[in-house]
């Protein structure tokens, strides 16, 4: 059973549909104690990092307990950012801190000679970048990963965000939008994606399937 965490951060319906398409049994726990029987956890999310404040100490403790028992955890979009120390978007709210680093806002301008200044890149000829970053962009694979198993270099996935995590040793896939940022991360049984796999066609379903296979062991 997968526990799909509902903390008021949106996109729950689309994730439910994707899991249903994959034939997955899942529940939406109403209290931290209900995580006890879960074999894996998904923390979705869209919007401001401040919404993660709803995941208070009891939720954090319960989720970390599941992680300590080697139960896979997947963060999506804001849910991925929550895996880090925190975000400049809401400095008063701490992340789960299973990965080191602080999420920062994407730049609103780049140098006119930056390689991103090209048709379809979101950057105009004067180096102005459209933020939030909304739409399809390609993945650059940075190291071997169970989360991105079967995903190819350059595969396109769907983003909608203004803040992003840094490229660290936990990054398994990056994307460039004004700057390079972590599009997918992995540490042990914990994984995260900045994009929305539930809206990323076959590539996204492949990634969700990889997570489910990890849960099944």
- Where are the domains positioned within the chain? 2-216
Other CB atoms closer than 10 Å to residue 53's CB: what's the count? 14
Strand-pairing partners, residue 186, are 191
Identify whether the C-beta of residue 133 lies closer than 8 Å to the C-beta of residue 106: yes
Q: Are 38 and 66 in contact (CB under 8 A)?
A: yes
**Residue 200, both tokens:** 């990323």
Q: Residue 64: is its pLDDT beyond 90? A: yes
Sign of the alpha-carbon torsion through 206, 210, 216, 217 = positive
Active-site residue numbers? 77, 196, 198
CB neighbours of residue 13 within 10 Å: 10
Distance CA 82, CA 48 (A): 11
User: How confident is the model over 43-68, as a mean pLDDT?
Assistant: 95
Alpha-carbon distance of 177 to 134, in angstroms, equals 10
Fold assignment, 2-216: Rossmann fold (3.40.50)
DSSP string, 92-161: TSB---SS--EEEEPPSB--TTSTT-STTTTB-TT-BB-SSEEEEEE-EE-S--STTTTPPTT-EEEEEE
pLDDT at 124 over 60: no
Would you place residue 151 in the very low, low, confident or very high pLDDT band (cuts 50, 70, 90)? very high
How confident is the model over 82-104, as a mean pLDDT? 97
In the sheet that 86-87 helps form, which strands lie side by side, from edge to edge? 86-87, 102-105, 163-164
Pairwise CA distance, residues 19 & 208, whole Å? 8
**Which residue in the block uniquely carries the two structure tokens 């979009």?**
77
Q: How much is the pLDDT for 12?
A: 87
Closest Cα partner for 44 from 70, 85, 71, 83?
Answer: 83
Q: What tens digit of pLDDT does each residue of 170-213 get?
A: 999 999 998 999 999 999 999 999 999 999 999 999 999 999 99
């Amino acid at each position: 059973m997968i526990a799909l965490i509902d903390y008021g951060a949106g996109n729950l319906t689309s994730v439910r549909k994707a899991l249903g398409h994959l034939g997955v049994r899942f529940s939406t726990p109403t209290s931290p104690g209900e995580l006890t029987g879960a074999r894996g956890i998904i923390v979705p999310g869209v919007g401001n990092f401040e919404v993660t404040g709803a995941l208070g100490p009891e939720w954090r403790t319960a989720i970390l307990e599941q992680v300590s028992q080697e139960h896979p955890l997947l963060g999506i979009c804001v849910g991925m950012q929550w895996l880090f120390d925190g975000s400049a978007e809401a400095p008063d709210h701490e992340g789960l801190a299973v990965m080191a680093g602080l999420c920062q806002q994407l730049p609103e301008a780049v140098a006119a000679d930056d390689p991103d200044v090209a048709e379809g890149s979101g950057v105009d000829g004067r180096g102005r970048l459209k933020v939030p970053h909304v739409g399809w962009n390609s993945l650059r694979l940075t190291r071997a990963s169970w989360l991105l198993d079967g995903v190819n270099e350059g595969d396109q996935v769907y983003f909608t965000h203004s803040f992003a995590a840094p490229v660290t040793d936990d990054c398994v896939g990056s994307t460039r939008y004004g700057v390079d940022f972590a599009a997918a991360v992995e540490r042990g049984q914990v994984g995260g994606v900045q994009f929305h796999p539930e809206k990323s066609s076959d590539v996204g379903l492949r990634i969700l399937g990889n997570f489910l296979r990890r849960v099944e062991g």
